[in-house]
Amino acid sequence: MYRFLLTPRWWAINLFLVFAVPFCLIMGFWQLGRFEDRVDGHREHQRQTEEAASAVPVPLEELLPLTTDTVGGTAEVSGEWDADNELLVPRRSAEGEPGFRILTPLIPADGGPAVPVVRGWLPADAVPDGVPPADGGPVTVIGVLQAPESPRAIGAPTGLPDGQVGVVGAASLINVLPYPVLDGWLTVREAEAPLVVVPPEAAAGTVLDLKAFQNLGYTAEWFVFAAFVIFMWYRLLRREVEVRRDALADAGAAGAAAAGPTAGSTAGSTDAPAPADSAAPAAPADRTDGPEPVSPSTPEDASGRTRSPAGSA
């Protein structure tokens, strides 16, 4: 019944099943792993944020080069503010209110590239008059190390006036600052009033955003594809079996119908009694057992005519 599975057509179907199902499962588990990585990154970011207020700072050099593991670490660096090149970062919100971030470059005391430092946030109506000046002279800044921002990720504005920058990162700051800049930035742990501390941001690819849940959706899709392939293979198998079973049943019925009239005619000619019309008529029963009486002959004249008894008298 199932020998048709060895036909070329079914070899192709079976090979498709063998390769398609594992591929769908591998892709599904890969997407699930990406989602789990984002969940773990989100939890790690929450842990770092909670510990940032009391974490012991380490020299900034120990957290460089910047990696996913070092983002969110608490660092300290000494140097002097470059207040002349202070910048505003527009269209940044805090608790749902639009405003600006105050970005001031810090020139390290031991040399090296300048460190972009976000000293805090102010509402839009407080800028620029409400921005407190940066301290003069040597300072030590303690803050949380952050990864450079991506213009696509934040939807950075363009065509900004002088003194403003849409993205905090070396790729954009190198065009407005006269010296090399660290590809990363610090957000201070304590801000000078009236500035508001900018909370640390999660590293790219570790936050539970819409893209993270897209990975979860892709996981479900790949598993559904695997189940659909198995279902369609089983459905084709059942259909093939039913078609072949019906074909065998029809062939048996046709054979029985072809043999039926011949057998019936043979049986009728042999066993059936002869019809009543074809039977020979029965002879009438004799009324007497003796010989049949003979009537007397009638005399004839010489002319050959028969004479009656009266005429002869």
Q: What is the pLDDT of residue 205?
A: 61
pLDDT tens track for 136-152: 899 999 999 999 988 77
Return the H-helix or E-strand segment holding 142.
strand 138-146
Decide if pLDDT at 42 tops 50: yes
Predicted confidence band of residue 254 (pLDDT cuts 50, 70, 90) = confident
Decide if pLDDT at 313 tops 70: no
Mean pLDDT computed over every residue of the chain: 80
Compute CA 118 distance to the chain's CA centroid, rounded to the nearest angstrom: 42
Stretch 46-73: mean pLDDT, rounded? 83
Residue closest to 170 by CA, chosen among 69, 282, 66, 268: 66
Stretch 65-84: mean pLDDT, rounded? 90
Are 90 and 105 in contact, with CB atoms under 8 Å apart? no
- CA dist 198 and 196 (Å) reads 6
More confident residue, 200 or 206: 200
Return the H-helix or E-strand segment holding 10.
helix 8-52
Q: What is the pLDDT of residue 99?
A: 92
